[in-house]
Structure 1
Amino acid sequence: MSKDYAVLARCVVEGVGGPDNISKVFHCATRLRFQLVDTSSIDVDALGSISGVMGAVKSVGGVQVIVGNDVVQAFKAMVDLYPNIESAAESDDDAKGHEVSDEKANIFSRMLNVLSSIVGPTIPLIMTSGLISALLVILNRWGGLPADGSTYTILNMVGNAALYFLPVFLAYTSAKRFGCDVMVSVFLGALLVSPTLADLATSGEFSSLFGLPVMTGGYTSTLIPAILTVWVYSYVEKLVARIVPDAVKFVFRPFASIVIMVPVALCVTAPLGGYAGDLLCAAMEAINSAAPWASVLVVGCLAPLMVLTGMHLAIIPLVMAMFETVGFDSFLFPAFIGMNFSQFGVALACFVKTKNPNLKTLSMSCAVTAFLAGVTEPTLYGICVRMKRPLYATWIACIVNAIFCAVFSVRVYSFGAPSFFTMPIFLNPDGTMTNFYFAIAAAALTIVVSFVATLVLGFDDSCYGEKSEDKATV
């Protein structure tokens, strides 16, 4: 029987305090993310018990409600029922209310919240381009596609496009997050990837703009320069709005903003963001040089906690810096072999062992989603958090995988979350297959360990109702 998304949306909105308590709502792949006026009375356990909700967790200034693969339908039903929620998400009043809620958190939590809202929407597109790049390696290596042909060149362009134009995409999402003009923000992001700026590098590391130093070479594939630039622009826009009269605002407010922001972006914010990215990358390279096993081991051991809290998004800037400088990731996505494939093993074990029809249906859906797409939240919240012991099995599998990847130096060469369809991201462009075979071995090991650990630890499926005579408990 199909879900009634209107009922689900109404129950969730009531659970977070009603529409008047919502200052912003958006969604990611599996979660409805709320920014709330008042979070003090929110009961995450009550939210998690709503039919159709897999779980809930408090976040900075709000709450995240895990719906699973139906999150888009639930979000649409919510917007249809409460149209003012969507319009409030882009208003000045909302931006102010959001800043107030952020101030209640420490600076790290606030930065994490900002990164989550800005970087999150771009990740599916970046992963798509990464997968195309990985498939291009397969076509070239085994499909007979020549590297000097136009087809290869065009597909390679598509595979690199999302990372190349990343500052433009981030300028858009940053504008939405900081509440400033979208088109001017996108214009500033486009300046950072202009071929002209890159061509100036032939004359030296720096050029000049009215005597001011401009770092040449461009900022393709970078993350921090665009975010920092749009953040500064959000304040410049307010200043210009107070100075330029309403009678000429249509043209002269964007004009004045751009006149101010071009030297600020090219001479201050973009270079500072570039240096910050270089420092982050240098720090990771130093760690990997001193102890190559350390980073993947730490991330692997913390992977379930990072997904539960959304902290894995905070590492994305480091990963992008690694791809830009050394061409691979050796700590985040290898560690997430354990996170993603363990959820398949856990869900499969639950499907095999339980006699509860509700859990059996849920676990099969979760297993397919985790294995094919690498989406872990349905299993993590719908099964692991709810029954606890499968979460311990997840942790065991993540640690085993982290040790394996650390020992054999498993690397990812294209941006993407590990799953059955994205395994080509482990193919080394130099043609060797060793890394790919180790990645497959890591995935298989993770599945076996998580499956066996779930069966050994057992679980209590009574929380799913309709108990059978033999409850799956050890």
Structure 2
Amino acid sequence: MANKDYSKLAKKIVADVGGEKNVDNLIHCITRLRFYLKDESIAKDDALKNTDGVIDVIKASGQYQVVIGNEVANVYDAVVDELGPKFAKKLDSDGEAADDSKEADPDKKGIMHYINKLIGVITGSMTPVIGVIAASGIIKGILALLTLPQLGQLLSAKSTLYLTVSAMADSAFFFLPIFVGFAAARYMKGDPIITAVIGGVLTYPQIIEWGSNFKTMFSIGGFNFQFLNYTYSIFPMILAAWFAKEIGNWLKKNLPSYLQMIFTPLITVLVVSAITLVITGPVIQGVANGIADFINWLVHISGWLGGAVIGGFYQVLVIFGLHWGVVPLVTQQISGSGESALNAIISGTMVSQGAAVLAVAIKSKKDDIKGLGFAAAISAFCGVTEPAIYGVNLRYRKVFISGLIGSAASGFITGLMHGNMFGFTGSLIGFSSFFNPKNAADLNSFYAFLLSSLAALVVSFLVTWFWGYNDQMQAGTKVEKKKNPAKV
């Protein structure tokens, strides 16, 4: 899509969602424009779906989601320009966050309203850092590959080069509270710098040392309050960002203007850091680690059955954008225990949808289907399945089902072999994430990756080829979606 087309596409999108007056807020993730509309009923779903440059339209998590694909950032900028300067003031300068300060209508403020807001906060806090985490995982996997004894140990784990590159990869996880805090504050319209400083408190070397040794801060009634290690943590910082915003807003209203520049950050950092270290941090981190470890354990003991079920149905979550709720969980698993059996299964589902759309691209004699199919397959093999799902697979529903069948086969093998992932990046590009950095000689998870990926490729491709697609099929003009579980 050429740059000159963005403005035309933006005009069409804004018009079809009901115009500027119908748009409350707007954010974007890796592939979607996520509108908060005042009235979704006046948006023209079918017109948008049939627009060149738009892959699909989804209604989920309280958002009106327009699936664009890899060009979403450029289209987002054009849409913001089309909405006008007044609307642009509601957004961060880099276009990642939206003003969430407007109160919902009284009749919309039920429990599901707050669940949707929570999902939005987690998504807005994690989306900006996902790419960095994924890249770091690939680097760590490649380092593990280079230290394999089976390959002659091309690189020593004690060499200067290894330790330097390892520091580059580890920094994204080590200082994760700073990055997540900054992104969360930006999303919630707090002060990103003050929040990043609070993240810096949690990753300060002395605090880390005390946390690693569970040093006691103080005792009350025989109960010891201990320091914890917050490197690699996510959820405590998201709550800290909210506290910092609320305290900062209160101080701005109640402090004289000549005191705000110094005392607003001073009080905010002191109060929020203390609350996080003493109360909320230990509670949230304990619960998050417990949930992550429990799911890892559950996936392990369920073996082939859990792998087949999760593999067979995971990509259905992508239809609604609910897969973003799994991202922090996987990150918590990897940061806590260093591995994620869940992510190993998810990886195969990406390969399966890519193989299904690849079969369509090769079998079809239609130039537009071929072009879209090959591009979507490459995207899926690089870990982003939405162009494949919404561009081709869901429009020819049997293609999507063929991918799910391949995913179930892939998950079956991963579960049977108890495969793990030790990095974040999945699909074929994430092969290095299956090498265990703590035990380079252990190749069980890598073998599980090879066999499960092969099953995903072969099963999905063959089922699509012989059953899922032919050129006589008509693409669906509208894909009916189940209701968002958060709204049921």
- TM-score, structure 2 length as denominator? 0.87
Compare 285-294 and 390-399 and name the one that shifted more: 285-294
Equivalence for 1:311? 322
Give 1:112-261 correspondences, 5 Å limit.
Answer: 112-141=119-148, 142=151, 144-201=154-211, 204-208=214-218, 215-261=226-272
Percent of aligned pairs sharing the same letter: 25
Q: Using a 3 Å threshold, how does the CA distance of structure 1 residues 338 and 285 change in structure 2: closer, same or farther?
A: closer
Correspondence 1:405 to 2:414: yes
Please tell me the residue identity of whatever aligns with 1:428: N
Counterpart contact for 2:173–2:335, Cα < 8 Å:
no
Distance 2:130 2:231 in 1: 16
Secondary structure of the residue that 1:306 maps to in structure 2? Answer: helix
Please tell me the residue identity of whatever aligns with 1:88: K
Equivalence for 1:59? 60
Higher relative contact order (CA 8 A, sep 6+): 2
Equivalence for 1:16? 17
Please tell me the residue identity of whatever aligns with 2:132: L
Distance 2:464 2:332 in 1: 37
Q: Using a 3 Å threshold, how does the CA distance of structure 1 residues 291 and 34 change in structure 2: closer, same or farther?
A: same
Distance 1:294 1:214 in 2: 41
Q: Which one of the candidate residues 386, 389, 392 is aligned to 1:377?
A: 386
Structure 2 runs not aligned, ≥5 long: 478-488
Distance 1:407 1:95 in 2: 45
Give 1:96-107 correspondences, 5 Å limit.
Answer: 96-97=101-102, 103=109, 105-107=112-114
1:170-200 superposed Cα distances (whole Å, 9 cap, x missing partner): 1011102222111111111111111111222
Please tell me the residue identity of whatever aligns with 1:96: S
1:144-188 superposed Cα distances (whole Å, 9 cap, x missing partner): 222111111111111111111111111011102222111111111
Q: Using a 3 Å threshold, how does the CA distance of structure 1 residues 203 and 427 change in structure 2: closer, same or farther?
A: closer
Q: C-alpha root-mean-square deviation of aligned residues, in Å?
A: 2.8
Q: Which ranges of 4 or more aligned residues in structure 1 deviate by more than 6 Å?
A: 209-213
Q: Using a 3 Å threshold, how does the CA distance of structure 1 residues 103 and 157 change in structure 2: closer, same or farther?
A: farther
Secondary structure of the residue that 1:386 maps to in structure 2? Answer: coil
Q: Which one of the candidate residues 85, 89, 93 is aligned to 1:87?
A: 89
Equivalence for 2:430? 422
Counterpart contact for 1:24–1:35, Cα < 8 Å:
yes
Please tell me the residue identity of whatever aligns with 2:26: V
Please tell me the residue identity of whatever aligns with 1:397: G
Equivalence for 2:481? none
Distance 1:283 1:268 in 2: 23
Equivalence for 2:400? 391
Correspondence 1:434 to 2:441: no
Deviation at residue 48 of structure 1 after TM alignment:
1.3
Compare 289-298 and 347-356 and name the one that shifted more: 289-298
Distance 1:221 1:359 in 2: 42
Q: How many residues align?
A: 462
Counterpart contact for 1:168–1:189, Cα < 8 Å:
yes
Structure 1 runs not aligned, ≥5 long: 466-474
Counterpart contact for 2:307–2:411, Cα < 8 Å:
yes
Counterpart contact for 1:25–1:85, Cα < 8 Å:
no
Compare 196-205 and 230-239 and name the one that shifted more: 196-205
Counterpart contact for 1:23–1:88, Cα < 8 Å:
no
Secondary structure of the residue that 2:137 maps to in structure 1? Answer: helix
Equivalence for 2:484? none
Distance 1:58 1:125 in 2: 28
Distance 2:391 2:207 in 1: 49
Secondary structure of the residue that 1:405 maps to in structure 2? Answer: helix
